[in-house]
Amino acid sequence: NAGVTQTPKFRVLKTGQSMTLLCAQDMNHEYMYWYRQDPGMGLRLIHYSVGEGTTAKGEVPDGYNVSRLKKQNFLLGLESAAPSQTSVYFCASSLTSGRGDTQYFGPGTRLTVL
């Protein structure tokens, strides 16, 4: 049981390049989330999904797109990377979004945009 995994672990992009971050979970969770972590700002929600085939915007969605074609995978795309998107990206999943439900996090992807 690997939990939540993310690929790649590190990536360096040039401004304007595109890339896709992959998140996979093997816990049969319905909900999946993408966050970004910046120093002194905690984690901020980018997009989330309440089930296969659905996505919704979070707190900071601009410049990102997501897709959830399979229940176990949640992809985060950057179509035209900008230096402001330099950050550490975390994926998380939870069984539901109920009051007591816990979100489980992946190890993160460190992205640098030059």
Partner 1 sequence: AQSVAQPEDQVNVAEGNPLTVKCTYSVSGNPYLFWYVQYPNRGLQFLLKYITGDNLVKGSYGFEAEFNKSQTSFHLKKPSALVSDSALYFCAVRVFYYNQGGKLIFGQGTELSVKP
Binding site for partner 1 (CB under 8 A): 4, 31, 33, 40-45, 48, 50, 56, 58, 90, 92, 96-108
Instruction: Please report how close the Cβ of residue 16 comes to partner 1 at its closest, in angstroms.
Output: 28
CA distance 114 to 112: 6
User: Minimum distance between the CB of residue 63 and partner 1, rounded to whole angstroms?
Assistant: 20
Nearer to partner 1, 48 or 74 (CB): 48
Q: How far is the CB of 80 from partner 1 (least distance, A)?
A: 27
Comparing CB distances to partner 1, the nearer of 26 and 79 is 26
Whole-angstrom distance, CA of residue 55 vs CA of residue 45:
13
Instruction: Report the alpha-carbon distance of residue 11 to residue 111 in Å, rounded.
Output: 5
What is the number of residues in the chain? 114
Six-digit token pair at 76?
A: 């985060």
Tell me the C-alpha distance between 107 and 50, whole Å.
Answer: 21
Instruction: Kindly tell me which of 22 and 45 has the beta carbon lying closer to partner 1.
Output: 45
